[in-house]
Structure 1
Amino acid sequence: MTFVIIEDEKPNAIRLKRMVEEIDASYQVVATIHTVSEAVEWFTNNPHPAIALMDIRLADGLSFDIFSRVKISSSVIFTTAYDEYAIQAFKVNSVDYLLKPIEKEELVNAVEKAKSLHVSASTDPYISELLSYIKRKDVKYRTRFLFPYKDGFKTVNVSDIAFIYSEAKNTHIVLQNGSMQLAGQTLEELEEQLDPDQFFRANRQYIVNINSLESIHNHFNGKLKVVVKNHDDHEILVSKEKAPVFKQWLDR
């Protein structure tokens, strides 16, 4: 059985590929794809695998956008780090979903379900219904945070964030005034909650606000180095693979 993995975070893609191959030695991952545009091109020019494992939020948009641009004959299993998109709608027919971090047993069950139903994404009426719902849905992105402060609480507007980074399993929100708050969410959860027009996941460790960027420089091996205003002590690198998506995000 063949698989394609659509996931923009390389460590997640590697882990998912390893799990697929551990489930059954005959399973083969024929491609790992990182963006919506790359997925459209790949499905247009290659035989479709039995199963497509799709992350919902990709660097250049939602994976749902793929279906409006190319017909996919594969069964689809969605993956997501944040329970946002009418999750129960996935629990029908060939469509399934897995919440990150994905456990091997859950992946086994989802693959077995897809195998038993043999329904492609193109012919599954629930896919069309789900896509219609997503198009109608007004996505509400987070606009503020509530943090403990002295004997009470204080709010921080999302627009005041310079960047967010993860270190030692803690998530730090750095404000433009230089102060810092410890967040209760993971970087993956915050990536889903923040407006992708304003915030970009530069790498596994950093999310940056477009209004806080001071400069972008070419770096070694096709990488980009991002400098945030008043915070040049943080070295934020964008990988060679993600650099074109980052530049596209800036130039729109």
Structure 2
Amino acid sequence: MANSAAGSNQSYLTQYIPPKGMYEQFEDESDYFEKVKEWGLSTKKEFWYKDRYQHCLVTIKGYEIFGETAEFNTLVIEFPDGTLTCIHPAYLKEMQSSSFGKEIIQQAPGDGNSAVGMKTKKPKAASSAETTVTAEKPAKKEKAKKEKATKLVLPEEKVHFTATVKQFALSWNHFNEDNDEVVVFENVRIEQAEPIEVGLAWGSHSKTLKKHELEPGQQLEFDGKIVKKSLPKGKDVEDESMLLDVSVAYKINNPSKIAKK
């Protein structure tokens, strides 16, 4: 803990990147453990943060979602003094290694390293070819606007679902570089005053779901939270029946109150 105390004196030199407004928070402990597992981190409450100026324990307060299909996350971590900053999950994972930091300490001051583990780069002037490509983008933007207009407006809170188990599949987890088993649902419907027909959705084959010994064709009802997140296709899968041949754009998190129909 001596390193942590010594580092706190220079913590003001760390380049913090605070979250932009509101960020996703964990619903409960099981949600937290499921997320850190997805990010390839160990299931614990504190992690080491290391840079040239401080070496201390931080906690994960939540995460930001980005990417066209919302498949990427940036973690929001909290330092002992309450300061929040954003960091890529893979970079925080690297910091847990005992060998991490030796090269950083030797770097010259003012190297531009930030809390997300990237160096800032000067903007590059657009070439004539890039200008031509940019001129062709308005048509694509119009198409994108039309596609967005047809997207479902998803509720932010937990809702009640009915669905049918379509199949089990393998999905590539780029954080831990391995395949995870998931459940793919069909005929997914959000049951409310004005029901929403979702169609296909997927979710982690968690311990909660495994307890119910689900089978393809099984009809279910449950509570959960739905988000826009595409199902990554599995890699190097020997059993091709564990690969899905259609795209799935929505993910269901933390199903509870599960009942077979």
Q: TM-score, normalised by structure 2?
A: 0.25
Q: RCO greater where, 1 or 2, for CA within 8 Å and sep 6 or more?
A: 2
Larger C-alpha radius of gyration, 1 or 2? Answer: 2
Q: TM-score, normalised by structure 1?
A: 0.26
